[in-house]
Amino acid sequence: MNLEAEQHLLACAIIDENKVPDLLEIPEEWFFYNQHKLIIRVIKTLSYASLSSDLFAIADSLKQAHQLEMAGGMEYLVELTESLPNLQFWNSYKNSLFGAYKLTQIKQVSDKLQMQIGSGAKPQDMVDYIQTSLIDLMTDHHNGGFKPISSFLDQALEDIQWRMDNEGKMRGIQTGYEQLDEAFDGFESGKPYVIAGRPGMGKTQFALNLALRLSQHKPVCVFSLEMTGKGLSMRAICNESRVYNSKIKSGNMNDTEMNSVAMAVTRLHTNAHLYIDEQAGLSTAQMRSRLKAFKIKHGAIGAIVVDHIGLIRKDPRKGDTESLTAIVHELAQFAKEFDCPMIELAQLNRGVEQRTNKRPLLSDLKQSGAIEEDARGVILLYRDEYYNDQTQDKNITEVDIAKNSDGECKTLYFRHNMAIAHYEEISGYEPTIDESKKMKF
């Protein structure tokens, strides 16, 4: 608590109404003394009503609400104004207040931890609590709020100028898949993208290809909620070495293949800034805490990949749809908070299997419409050979850009090799579609 800082901030706002907006930007919880909170609430009410918040207006409002004595009385309000704080020291008062607020939070964390120790809480629960609390203490500076449009217009103008100076270049991070990058203008920071498909369509492998390519630029954080880190790394080695997974697993490799694997591991160590969290059943709160810790340690996050959103721990107090909707909204916020693309993998419902044409639609996204609504882009994966042994489209994955907020929706074609978890973009491909299956959903 810092009595003097609280008094000086209030006095500045009472003496100079130009400081009222600055006062109201300070979260009320930063103030410790209840009498000061009462005064702030009155100033807020007067300000919202476009009324003066001078000494007498504040006193009159407090008196009408029968709170004048609780706020210290008229004598205390006069004492505040007569303290004559220096308006130029506003930021110093604010910083002192924030420091006191943080000390109070630290004490609360310490007290709760002592209670957990005394009650015999599980060590892992206590570690999770410490990690979350410490990261919040380090990063929660309340920098949000409304800003004048002029600040955003400057940003927009800067973007326009950049595009003029860099004609043909893309704003987002590029994967090297030219058609995919062009469709989305690269994977842009602050925006969520969804890769969806039925089991067996290759969602994890396709996302891994994207993650490996994106990790050439900045660190990529992968929440592998289903597959182990070792399993995902094995696929990365197959992708990089072009040696079949079955050969690596069996150990039946010749000298050339062994050398390819060794070189692939070396390249991945050197070039792939890929970080994998393999713990299953994480909640969004735990994910956020780990991302914050990572950013503090490494300085930046290039992209986040979640495989898959259906495996994130749901709130037991909510129904499945409501809980998943909340999760999707929080993941979208992660993209903004960590200023990077968010790539979310999602399942499709079983309705796909009941149709003659099993190519997926946006309406097949499982459980929550928020998945489609929040996404900047939605990619639906389809492999015809999974359903049709006689297909002529062997080793072809259709990458259907079913939603693209800032561009064209279209289908791209990739040649895949599932044995080495590898995708290669192809152009000018014309799929063979059975006429009897067309438009029959």
Contact 43, 53 (CB under 8 A): yes
Going by pLDDT thresholds of 50, 70 and 90, the confidence category of residue 434 is low
The dihedral sign for the CA sequence 269, 274, 280, 285: positive
Angle 254-269-247 from CA coordinates, rounded to 5°: 25
> Token pair of 265, please?
């591991």
At 265-303, the pLDDT tens digits run 888 888 878 898 988 888 888 888 888 888 878 888 899
At 91-144, the pLDDT tens digits run 788 888 888 888 888 888 888 888 888 888 888 878 877 777 776 666 555 555
CB-count exposure of residue 146 (10 Å: 0-12, 13-18, 19+): exposed
CB-count exposure of residue 270 (10 Å: 0-12, 13-18, 19+): exposed
305, β-bridge pairs: 222, 343
Give 164-199 as a DSSP string: HHTTT--SSB--S-HHHHHHHTSB-TT-EEEEEE-T
DSSP character for 217? Answer: T
DSSP character for 69? Answer: T
379, β-bridge pairs: 195, 401
The dihedral sign for the CA sequence 359, 361, 363, 367: positive
Based on its alpha-carbon atoms, the radius of gyration of the chain, rounded to whole angstroms, reads 28
Query: Beta strands 192-197 and 342-347: pairing type?
Result: parallel
DSSP character for 427? Answer: S
Contact 101, 30 (CB under 8 A): yes
Going by pLDDT thresholds of 50, 70 and 90, the confidence category of residue 440 is very low
Given a cut of 50, is residue 217 above it in pLDDT?
A: yes
Round the average pLDDT of the chain to a whole number and report it: 82
Count of CB atoms situated within 10 Å of the CB of 112: 14
Count, residues in the chain: 441
d(C-alpha 182, C-alpha 195), whole Å: 17
> Token pair of 342, please?
């968010």
Angle 205-188-266 from CA coordinates, rounded to 5°: 45
- Domains and their CATH numbers in the chain: 1-140 (1.10.860.10), 187-377 (3.40.50.300)
d(C-alpha 40, C-alpha 23), whole Å: 8
Region of residue 204 (left: phi > 0; alpha: psi -120 to 50; beta: else): alpha
Prediction pTM value: 0.65
Mean pLDDT of 408-431: 86
Contact 179, 379 (CB under 8 A): no
> Token pair of 305, please?
């990949």
If DSSP codes are grouped into helix, strand and coil, which group holds residue 378?
strand
pLDDT at 408: 85
At 329-373, the pLDDT tens digits run 889 888 888 889 999 999 888 878 778 888 888 888 866 677 878
Mean pLDDT of 186-215: 89
d(C-alpha 80, C-alpha 105), whole Å: 27
Given a cut of 80, is residue 68 above it in pLDDT?
A: yes
pLDDT at 135: 67
Q: Tokens 């892992």 label which residue?
A: 124
